[in-house]
Structures are given as C-alpha cells and as structure tokens.
Amino acid sequence: MNYKFKAKLFTLLTVSLVFIFSFSHLGAATYTTYFSDEIFKEGTKIGNVDVSGLTKKEAKMELVNKITDWTASGQIVFIYGDEMKTMQKTEALEFNFELSIDTATNGINNAFLVDWRKDNINKVFQELTQKDISEFNEEKLKLQLLDSASKLIPGELTLNLVSFIKVDENNVISKVNIQNTNTNTSFGEIGEMLLPANESFSLLQFIENFQDEYTNEELSLLATGIYELIIPTNFKIVERHTSSVLPAYAKLGFEALVEKGQKDLIIYNPNPFEYRISITVKENELQLELIGAQLLSEYKSIIEEEAIKPKTIKQFESTLSEGKSYVKKEGENGFYIKVIRQILKNGVEEKREIISEDYYSPIHKIEVYSLASSQSQNQNGSDSSQPPSSSDTAEDNDAPIITPEDELWEQPDEMK
C-alpha cells in the first residue's frame, strides 16, 4: 500500500515539473511572438531602405520618412508627343507600410508593396491624350510605375506614354500603288522591310542582303514608292535624290533616285516602335504598305506645283528652201514642286514642314528655218551681226536660270 502511494506521488510530481517547465518556455515564446516588438536582423531591407536593427515600429517611421523625402524630390511626369502633364506622387501611388513590414523576411532585400491610384492616373491620361487608359498597355504601365516607385530613387519619375501604346500588328499607316510599270517581279520576294525604332534605314544597305540583281531604274522605282509612303508620317528624310527628268512611274514631288554606290534613299524612324513595309507585286503594279503602331498625330502631304514654260530655240539649215520652216522638237513644261507635310491633331492643323523642293527643267521647243530666208532678210537691210527678229519665239517666262529677256539662238549650219 505504501509502495502504491509513493508511485502515485512520484507520478504527480513528475507531471507537475513537466507542466511548470513547459509553461515557462512556451509562455516566453508566446510573449515574444505576440507581445514583443521583433528587431530586424542585419542585411534586412524593404525596398532600398535598410531596416537592420530596427523594431517594426521604428522601421515604419523610417519608411515614412523615406517616402516623405522621395515624394518631395519631384513629381511624376507623363509625356505624350510634344505635351506633358505632372501629378504628385502621392496622388498616383499608395504605399502599404504595414503589409510591407509584416511580410518582410530577415536578412534579405524585400519588396516595398505599392499600389497605384488608377482613377487619378486615368484622369491625367484623358486630359493629356484624349484617350482612356484602357487604350494603352495598362499592365506594362502599372509594372513600370510601381517598380520605379518601390526603389524610391529621388527626383522626377518620367514616363513617356508613347511606349505604352497598344500596337496593332496589322495597322496600316499609309499605302502606295505605282501602276503601269515594268515592275521587277522579284520585288515581291523581298516580302517586307523592317524599319527599327529610333534607327536609320538605307535602301542600298538593305538590298545587299538579297542575291537578285536590281538595276538603278528598278531601285529608283522602289525608292520612289518608299519615299511617297513615308511622306504622310513623322519619319525623317536623311538622304534623297531626284533625276533631271521625271520618270514615267513617278508623280511630281515623290520621286527618289537611287544609283548603286552613289545615291541612296535613307530614312529615319523617330518612333519607339518598329515599323515594316509590306511589298506586293500584282500585274505590273507595285503595292507598298507601311504597317505599325498608330502615330500620335495625323499627317498629310500638300503639293505646291508651278509649271515653267519652255522657250523657243531657232535653228537654220542651208538645205531648207527659202521661206520653209518646221518644228524639230516640241517643247515641254518644266516644274518647280514644293512638298509640304501638314501635321494635325484632333483634326486641327498644328504646323507645316517643308519636306522637299524639286526642280525639273523645261524642254525647249526647237524651230528650224531656212538659211536663205535669213540671208534674204540681211540683204534687205537687217543687221547681219544679229540673229533674226525674235517675233516668232515663244512668249518669255520666268523660268529659273533663263532670264525673261533672253532669246535662245543656235549658229546656222555652215555651208558645205
């Protein structure tokens, strides 16, 4: 009986000791977990803010101070074309201090949890672009905005909204058809030309990648189509040449002459997107399309054309009977052409740019007269040192190089 009592007493004491020991340790752990303010270990960061050795409360105060300094260092700047809008960082962003601290892991660089105030940002978008934010790449914009904010880099936060435009891969910016040409059918094998963002494009360099041999005339035809294609855009003309006589396939103001090793067509794409030129050949018709992201403004081409009348050249022949004459060559008008790029926004003209000024000389008319008639006039008292009267010449005009009072004469053929 005494033995059983001792056994029960020993068991009771053992259980009591285990209970007391467990309670003291578990209680301390519970208190530390739920009631004490944990100190962050060395190497712990939230965003780029070092919170090593700080309690959660102290870490929050440090983050608040850093955010205050960052928001005061500059605004958020939204750029769209030539226009811009600004807004305070606190109007666009919301920092979650509590969750950032509670989810931080000791010894590593943790993300500073930030969210955007979409409604506020959308108002700025509508004022700046006349478009809703949904018409842009919303997710890409959000990620870049929040990533920049989480790093707390001092200064203005600048975002160019052009880079967030949704790109329709099938969007046709402009198209050109050159008809009634003996088009090289191998142009269709080229398929398309890529115009990289913020880079220049050289036709001669591009064509080196193909085995087909193209004549200067064929390359000029292709260059003419490309040149006309990019006139109603914001692409820049770096190098372009013209002929002395307008080719049959080209329209006034849109010719581009190319000669291997000498004369090239070079254009520059100032946009943050790649564009492509689609090339198709159908029944001797060259079809070109410029495809890519919609441009911020609307562009149109305006052609100012001035005809230059030909003069008349008088020649004399000894073999022609007295009083006879004939037209050896009909004259053709020359032209002075100014190509202007009109820039519109929301249908309203903003400005104009002169793209080119081309000049094609007139082809002068040639009339042939009898030398006997000329000699007869001289014998009748006219000054033999002077050419015949200019009463039969074409009416004077203001053609460049040739002044209005000039008369065009050639020496008579010598007597054989």
Please compute the mean of the pLDDT values over residues 122-147 and round it to a whole number.
Answer: 90
> Are 152 and 182 part of one and the same domain?
no
Rounded percentage of the chain residues whose pLDDT exceeds 70 = 78
> Are 175 and 292 part of one and the same domain?
yes
CA distance 315 to 411: 7
- What is residue 377's predicted lDDT score, i.e. its pLDDT? 59
> Are 203 and 172 part of one and the same domain?
yes
> Are 15 and 55 part of one and the same domain?
no
**How many domains would you assign to the chain?**
3
> Are 174 and 280 part of one and the same domain?
yes
Please compute the mean of the pLDDT values over residues 335-352 and round it to a whole number.
Answer: 92
Please compute the mean of the pLDDT values over residues 269-277 and round it to a whole number.
Answer: 93
Q: Write down which residue in 133, 164, 195 finishes a domain.
A: 164
Question: For residue 265, is it within any domain?
Answer: yes
Question: For residue 84, is it within any domain?
Answer: yes
Q: How many whole angstroms from its chain centre is CA 246?
A: 29
Please compute the mean of the pLDDT values over residues 389-397 and round it to a whole number.
Answer: 38
- What is residue 25's predicted lDDT score, i.e. its pLDDT? 55
Q: Is the confidence at residue 287, as pLDDT, over 50?
A: yes
- What is residue 19's predicted lDDT score, i.e. its pLDDT? 61
> Are 78 and 155 part of one and the same domain?
yes
- What is residue 372's predicted lDDT score, i.e. its pLDDT? 66
Banded model confidence at residue 92, pLDDT cuts 50, 70, 90: very high
Helix (H), strand (E) counts: the chain: 10, 22
Q: Exposed e or buried b for every residue in 40-78, given b needs 16+ CB within 10 A?
A: beeebbbbebbbeebebeebbeebeebbeebbeebbbeb
pLDDT averaged over every residue in the chain: 81
- What is residue 36's predicted lDDT score, i.e. its pLDDT? 47
Please compute the mean of the pLDDT values over residues 30-43 and round it to a whole number.
Answer: 66
- What is residue 227's predicted lDDT score, i.e. its pLDDT? 97
Question: For residue 413, is it within any domain?
Answer: no
Using DSSP bridges, classify how beta strands 285-291 and 172-178 pair: parallel, antiparallel or unpaired. Answer: antiparallel
Question: For residue 5, is it within any domain?
Answer: yes
Say which range, 110-114, 182-186, 208-212, 337-341, has the weakest mean pLDDT. Answer: 182-186
Banded model confidence at residue 399, pLDDT cuts 50, 70, 90: very low
Question: For residue 132, is it within any domain?
Answer: yes
Token pair, residue 119, equals 């409604």
- What is residue 184's predicted lDDT score, i.e. its pLDDT? 63
> Are 191 and 93 part of one and the same domain?
no
Please compute the mean of the pLDDT values over residues 26-39 and round it to a whole number.
Answer: 55
- What is residue 406's predicted lDDT score, i.e. its pLDDT? 36
Higher pLDDT among residues 372 and 29, named by residue: 372
Please compute the mean of the pLDDT values over residues 139-157 and round it to a whole number.
Answer: 87
> Are 58 and 137 part of one and the same domain?
yes
The residue among 368, 292, 372 whose CA lies nearest residue 330 is: 368
Whether the pTM exceeds 0.95: the reply is no
Banded model confidence at residue 403, pLDDT cuts 50, 70, 90: very low
Q: Write down which residue in 140, 164, 188 finishes a domain.
A: 164
- What is residue 346's predicted lDDT score, i.e. its pLDDT? 81
CA distance 369 to 322: 8
- What is residue 374's predicted lDDT score, i.e. its pLDDT? 59
- What is residue 198's predicted lDDT score, i.e. its pLDDT? 93
> Are 17 and 93 part of one and the same domain?
no
> Are 143 and 230 part of one and the same domain?
no
Indicate the residue type of 277: I
> Are 120 and 142 part of one and the same domain?
yes
Say which range, 34-48, 145-159, 329-343, has the weakest mean pLDDT. Answer: 34-48
| φ, ψ at 182 (rounded to 5°) | -85, 70
Which residues, including other chains, have CB under 8 Å from residue 307's CB and lie 6 or more apart?
333, 334, 335
- What is residue 4's predicted lDDT score, i.e. its pLDDT? 60
User: pLDDT tens digits for 55-86?
Assistant: 988 989 998 998 899 889 999 999 988 889 99
Question: For residue 350, is it within any domain?
Answer: no
Banded model confidence at residue 111, pLDDT cuts 50, 70, 90: confident
CA distance 301 to 13: 102
- What is residue 284's predicted lDDT score, i.e. its pLDDT? 78
Q: Is the confidence at residue 122, as pLDDT, over 90?
A: yes
Question: For residue 220, is it within any domain?
Answer: yes
> Are 265 and 197 part of one and the same domain?
yes
- What is residue 10's predicted lDDT score, i.e. its pLDDT? 62
User: pLDDT tens digits for 369-386?
Assistant: 888 665 565 555 544 444
Say which range, 24-33, 112-121, 282-291, has the weakest mean pLDDT. Answer: 24-33
DSSP symbol at 253: T
> Which domain, by its residues, includes 237?
168-296
Question: For residue 402, is it within any domain?
Answer: no
Count CA atoms within 13 Å of residue 108 on its CB side. 6
Q: Write down which residue in 120, 147, 164 finishes a domain.
A: 164
